[in-house]
Amino acid sequence: MSNRPSHDWQTFREVLGEAPPPAEVDRRIVEGVLERPPRRRVGLWAGLAVAGAAACLLVALWLGGILGQGGAGEALPAAGTEWAAPRSSPSSRSIGPHRIALAPGARLRVVGGTTRTPELAVNRGKVVFTVAPLRGGRFAVRTRHARVTVLGTRFSVALEPRCTRVEVTRGKVRVEPRRGGEARMLTAGQSRSVCELPPNRLDRDGRSVLRAITLTRKGERLEQAEQLLAEYLERQPEGGYAEEALYFLVLVKERLGKHDEAAKLARSFLRRFPSTSRARRLRRWLEKNDR
Amino acid sequence: MSSSLLERCKTGDEGAWREVVSQRARQVYRWAVLLGLHTVEAEDAAQEVLLTAARRIDSCEDEAAMTSWLYQITRRIVANHRRRGWLRRWRVGSQAMDENAFVHATSTDRVYEIEARRCLQELRREQAEVLVMIEIVGLTQEECARILGVPAGTVASRLRRARRAFVKRWNEEDAKNADGEERSKGEQPAEP
């Protein structure tokens, strides 16, 4: 820069200390300030007080959860108390922080435990449990076939004539057959049926579903297989063989050329049993056939 | 700002506040630019300073303390802007110095201003700040020491070092320019 002026502190003060900004900048600043009313800022002490109150509230809630015998729901009634939902409508209950929904006609009995860690027994029908997270202890449900213990999850237990079906919506549960056998952990999307009969002595429903499956696999008398599976699903929509029956009904319909019905049933299967290996196969099949 | 104007501001007189803003806006903007903010950020910072001043006008004691009081607010808000600006700087890189930050009567003043800001930006932050406080804002060394929370002796030594460093950079730039001119003369292509 050839015309660079020389430096001295007087010039420094005059040039940098007195130079005004461009007029529009000056105007923008002034207008910006005058248009905005000054906000009252919450003082430091007021902010600390609010934060302290919030922290106290959280601690109180936490201690309430730890020390209290429950949450918003009622306390656990005496052992032996039975709740029954009317045959025509569902019913719901709350025990401490846990929510329990009884399907129409279901019966649930209190066996023991505490409000936060009760032990209940499903005596009839299907019951859906939404269990709040527990710190120590177990929420237990039993039927005559199985014992289900959880630490905090949502699951259902359905008692059928010969089996108990457990479906997990969220979290993990442990299912243990009461007459021996290996306990299994079920995660969200998984289900398990625990039956009182050995596999070679299936009940009538089991036999009919097995017959339909065999026919489907052989590709023989597909209409009969379709009828058996459809009848079973109509009779026991939430039954212990619902997953198998629905899956093979999709296959039968497809082989009979009823593609639209097969696709519709496949989508229904995906909604009900989304994380099973059969669901993965059906999903691939739907994508492949662009359904 | 007369003390009566300050009193009127404290009582909520809108006209008085308007006058204060008109008087002080350019000064606050200038400080923000000299403390290293880009002009766009300096504009925002100036508005924020004046709004903060409006909220806290009760804490300003008298006219004599007004400039240092306002400078303290500016200093804090500029520091906040610098902290908040790291993401933008990281994303778009540091912006080039805006050469139209101020208006000057002569082109010599304009060249001087740009060169002086460049030298100021190259100084260590605490040195540049002391230089701005003493030479531009016009604070005394004692006021400076109170604002910075350091002994007056420290302010004096920082100022001494800042002046020396500033002059050194200025002279280096002069030498570079002279050298460049010499070289460009020597390297001029021969005419056909």
Mean pLDDT of B146-164: 91
Test B109 with A15 for CB contact under 8 angstroms: yes
Q: What is the pLDDT of residue B74?
A: 93
Same domain, yes or no: B127 and B69: no
Same domain, yes or no: B116 and B175: yes
Same domain, yes or no: B144 and B164: yes
Same domain, yes or no: B80 and B147: no
Within a domain: B190:
no
Chain A touched by B106 (CB under 8 Å): no
Same domain, yes or no: B92 and B7: yes
φ/ψ region of A256 (left if φ > 0, alpha if ψ in -120 to 50, else beta) reads: alpha
Domain boundary at B96, B127, B154, which? B96
Let me know: does A130 contact A99? Beta carbons within 8 Å.
yes
Q: What is the pLDDT of residues A89-115, one digit of tens each?
A: 888 888 888 888 888 888 898 888 888
Mean pLDDT of A181-188: 79
Q: What is the pLDDT of residue A62?
A: 63
Helix (H, G, I), strand (E, B) or coil at A93: strand
Chain A touched by B18 (CB under 8 Å): yes
Question: Higher confidence at residue B163 or residue A172?
Answer: B163
Within a domain: B192:
no
Chain A touched by B54 (CB under 8 Å): yes
Q: What is the pLDDT of residue B158?
A: 93
How distant is the Cα of B109 from the closest Cα of chain A, in angstroms? 6
Within a domain: B191:
no
Let me know: does A154 contact A241? Beta carbons within 8 Å.
no
Average pLDDT, chain B: 81
Same domain, yes or no: B23 and B67: yes
Q: Which residues of B touch A7 (CB under 8 A)?
A: 112, 116, 166-167, 170
Q: What is the pLDDT of residue B105?
A: 77
Domains and CATH numbers, chain A: 82-196 (2.60.120.1440), 200-288 (1.25.40.10)
Same domain, yes or no: B38 and B79: yes
How many C-beta atoms surround the C-beta of residue A57 within 10 A?
A: 10
Q: What is the pLDDT of residue A279?
A: 86
Q: What is the pLDDT of residue A278?
A: 83
Average pLDDT, chain A: 80
Q: What is the pLDDT of residue A178?
A: 77
Same domain, yes or no: B16 and B55: yes
Q: Which residues of B touch A28 (CB under 8 A)?
A: 43
Q: What is the pLDDT of residue B73?
A: 93
Domain boundary at B96, B118, B138, which? B96
Binned at pLDDT 50, 70 and 90, residue B83 comes out as confident
How many C-beta atoms surround the C-beta of residue A216 within 10 A?
A: 22
Binned at pLDDT 50, 70 and 90, residue A1 comes out as very low
How many domains, in total, are found in chain B?
2
Q: What is the pLDDT of residue B182?
A: 54
Q: What is the pLDDT of residues A223-281, one digit of tens each?
A: 999 999 998 888 888 777 888 889 999 999 988 888 888 999 998 888 888 877 788 88
Q: Which of A142-146, A280-284, B185-189 is the least confident region?
A: B185-189
Same domain, yes or no: B78 and B144: no
Q: What is the pLDDT of residues A52-91, one digit of tens each?
A: 888 878 876 666 554 444 455 688 888 888 888 888 888 8
How distant is the Cα of B86 from the closest Cα of chain A, in angstroms? 24
Best of A29, A36, A39 to disrupt the B interface (most B CBs within 10 Å) is A29
Closest CB to B103: pick one of A5, A9, A19.
A19
Q: Which of A60-74, A191-205, B35-49 is the least confident region?
A: A60-74
Domain boundary at B63, B96, B129, which? B96
Structure-derived torsion over alpha carbons of residues B148, B152, B155, B157, reported in degrees to the nearest 10: -150
Binned at pLDDT 50, 70 and 90, residue A203 comes out as confident
Binned at pLDDT 50, 70 and 90, residue B156 comes out as very high
> Per-residue pLDDT for A200 more than 60?
no
Range of the domain at B180: 106-185
What is the 3-state secondary structure of chain B? CCHHHHHHHHCCCHHHHHHHHHHHHHHHHHHHHHCCCCHHHHHHHHHHHHHHHHHCHHHCCCHHHHHHHHHHHHHHHHHHHHHHCHHHHHHHCCCCCCCCCCCCCCHHHHHHHHHHHHHHHHCCHHHHHHHHHHHHHCCCHHHHHHHHCCCHHHHHHHHHHHHHHHHHHHHHHHHHHHHHHHHHHHCCCCCC
Q: What is the pLDDT of residue B67?
A: 87
CA-to-CA distance for A217 and A263, rounded, in angstroms? Answer: 19
Helix (H, G, I), strand (E, B) or coil at A118: strand
Within a domain: B167:
yes
CATH of the domain at B36: 1.10.1740.10
Q: Which residues of B touch A41 (CB under 8 A)?
A: 55
Q: Which of A65-74, B62-71, B102-111 is the least confident region?
A: A65-74
ipTM above 0.90, yes or no: no
Q: Which residues of B touch A20 (CB under 8 A)?
A: 26, 102-103
Q: What is the pLDDT of residue B88?
A: 64
> Per-residue pLDDT for B187 more than 50?
no
Going by their DSSP bridges, the two strands A172-177 and A146-150 should be labelled as antiparallel
Test A30 with B21 for CB contact under 8 angstroms: yes
Q: What is the pLDDT of residue A89?
A: 80
Mean pLDDT of B98-122: 84
What is the model's pTM? 0.46
Q: Which of A3-7, B6-10, B17-21 is the least confident region?
A: A3-7
Test B117 with A16 for CB contact under 8 angstroms: yes
Same domain, yes or no: B141 and B172: yes
Q: What is the pLDDT of residue A202?
A: 65
CATH of the domain at B129: 1.10.10.10
Q: What is the pLDDT of residues A207-233, one digit of tens each?
A: 888 888 888 888 888 899 999 999 888
Question: Higher confidence at residue B97 or residue A186?
Answer: A186
Within a domain: B42:
yes
Same domain, yes or no: B13 and B62: yes
Within a domain: B101:
no
Q: Which of A4-13, A93-102, A260-269, B121-130 is the least confident region?
A: A4-13
> Per-residue pLDDT for B41 more than 90?
no
